[in-house]
Amino acid sequence: MTDGWDPAGFRTRVDGVLRSFLDEEAGHLVVVDDALAPVAEQLRNAAGHGKRLRAAFCYWGWRAAGQPDSDALVRAAAAMELVHAAAVVHDDLIDDSALRHGLPTAHVALEAVLTRDGRRRARGAARSLAMLVGDHLMALAGQLFATSGLPAAYLARARGLWAALARELIAGECLEILHTGSRPDTGTSLKVVRYKTAKYTVEHPLLIGGLLAGAPTALRDTYSAYGLPLGEAFQLRDDLLGLFGDPAHTGKAGLDDLRAHRPTALLAETWWAADASQRERLRQVLGRSDLDGNHLREVRDLMLELKAPQRVERMIVARVERATRALDAAGTSPQARRALRELAQRATDRVH
């Protein structure tokens, strides 16, 4: 707890908002037709997990600008989690990932239902349904934000940034697709990280909270100076956990990044340090659909030999330090600075 900041209590509040909102929306779908029950179930489950970091950053963008705690603001902040839920459904679909939080991803769960019901071409239908679930979640994020209970004049301040959030998230996803399978490059990977994850995870929620609160330009500049490097550090940690984390903690398959040949900074740093024979070993593994634990161990050993994880770890540390230094010029209360430092640690010092 930090001067009244109760992360567990905040998460409970956000969870309650999301559960109630998605239950209601799922009910509306089933009223249309009972056949929509599996889709409604995926909608209901879409935001059932998560650390609620995005909502927390939005909350502290508001509080650091001098505004008090507000249930309406918590509802607006919870909308950030629906943006994330939409991105997760789409990301899992694009990458054909089977697991998320240790559970079947939306398209996999829907395929199981359709197969059980005897549906022909169940896989294609399930993928199409999952795409629509993701689309609907993004629309619902805007709806929850607009109906949060905040004054219309406050909401209007953030309208342009909300549009930028969606645009830049899509740009990042597109860049990842366009560079998947290409020659690994650290600069390219970091650009994907910035647009696909960093902005909508930290910077944009902070700025939206600040705009809702009427934060001055100087404070919003501080939010960006803190948010961008921290968001990048968050995704770099995620990339490390994707290959070196324990699936029992991460809830994801360790081979996903290798099967998809994703343009991660970890892979790029490995490629940069590898000699010709080591690069050939990587080529024999990347993008294959039949990978197993032996392949994972081989790639891990090569990465460790080339000290790629250590270099990525240094990138994380440098970005967290840059982010927390930015808070010194924030002109905010000690409570807000402590909360944002605590959030920086939670975002990057994790096992899942």
Give the C-alpha separation, 89 to 290, whole Å: 24
Is the pLDDT at 3 greater than 80? The verdict is: no
Question: What is the model's pLDDT at position 4?
Answer: 59
Which of 81-90, 288-297, 325-334 has the weakest average pLDDT?
Answer: 325-334
Q: String of b and e for 102-118 (b: at least 16 CB within 10 Å)?
A: eebbbbbbbbebbeeee
- Could you give the CA distance from residue 78 to residue 53 in angstroms, rounded to a whole number? 10
Alpha helices in 101-203 (DSSP H): 106-116, 122-146, 152-157, 159-179, 186-193
Give φ, ψ of 214 to 5 degrees: 80, 30
Among the listed residues 92, 102, 81, 101, the one whose alpha carbon sits nearest the alpha carbon of residue 13:
81
* 95's tokens: 């990458």
Domain ranges of the chain: 7-348
Q: Does residue 178 surpass a pLDDT of 80?
A: yes
Distance CA 307, CA 192 (A): 22
**What one-character DSSP code corresponds to residue 2?**
B
Assess contact for 256 and 95: CB atoms under 8 A: yes
For the purposes of burial, counting CB atoms within 10 Å of the CB of 89, is it exposed (0-12), middle (13-18) or buried (19 or more)? buried
Alpha-carbon gap, residue 76 to 264, rounded angstroms: 32
Q: What confidence category does residue 195 fall into, taking pLDDT thresholds of 50, 70 and 90?
A: very high
- For 5, the 3-state DSSP assignment is strand
Token readout for 129 is 């349904």
Predicted TM-score (pTM) of this structure:
0.94
Q: Answer yes or no: is pLDDT of 12 > 90.
A: yes
Give residue 2's pLDDT: 45
pLDDT at 314 over 80: yes
Per the prediction, the chain carries an average pLDDT of 93
CATH code, residues 7-348: 1.10.600.10
Per DSSP, the three-state class of 99 is strand
* Residue-wise pLDDT tens digits, 256-278: 788 878 889 999 999 999 999 99
pLDDT in tens, 199-250: 999 999 999 999 999 999 999 999 999 999 999 999 999 999 989 988 777 7
d(CA 91, CA 328): 36
Amino acid found at 327: L
The whole-number average pLDDT for the span 142-168 is 97
Q: Assign residue 52 a region: left if phi > 0, alpha if psi is -120 to 50, beta otherwise?
A: left
Residue 145 burial class via C-beta count within 10 angstroms: exposed 0-12, middle 13-18, buried 19 and up: buried
For residues 295 and 329, which has the higher predicted lDDT (pLDDT)? 295
Percent of the chain with pLDDT over 70: 97
User: Over the range 285-320, which residues count as b (16 or more CB within 10 Å of their CB) and which as e?
Assistant: bbeeeebeeebbeebeebbeebebbebbeebbeebb
The residue length of the chain stands at: 352
Phi, psi of 104 (to 5 degrees): -60, 140
Tell me which of 109 and 351 has the higher pLDDT: 109
Burial 57-69 (b: 16+ CB within 10 A, else e): bbbbbbbbbebee
Amino acid letter, residue 326: A
What is the model's pLDDT at position 219?
Answer: 94
Model confidence over 73-89: pLDDT tens digits?
999 999 999 999 999 99
pLDDT in tens, 281-292: 999 888 888 888
Residues 242, 89, 199, 141: is their CA dihedral positive or negative?
A: negative
Q: Which residues contact 206 (CB under 8 A, 6 or more apart)?
A: 57, 58, 60, 61, 223, 226, 227
The Cα–Cα gap between 272 and 263 comes to 13
**3-class DSSP assignment, residue 330:** coil
Query: To which residue do tokens 């507000």 refer?
Result: 70
pLDDT of residue 1: 38
Phi-psi region of 214 (alpha: psi -120 to 50; beta: other; left: phi over 0): left
pLDDT score recorded for residue 330: 63
| Confidence class for position 179, pLDDT limits 50, 70, 90 | very high
Residue 252 has pLDDT above 80, yes or no: no
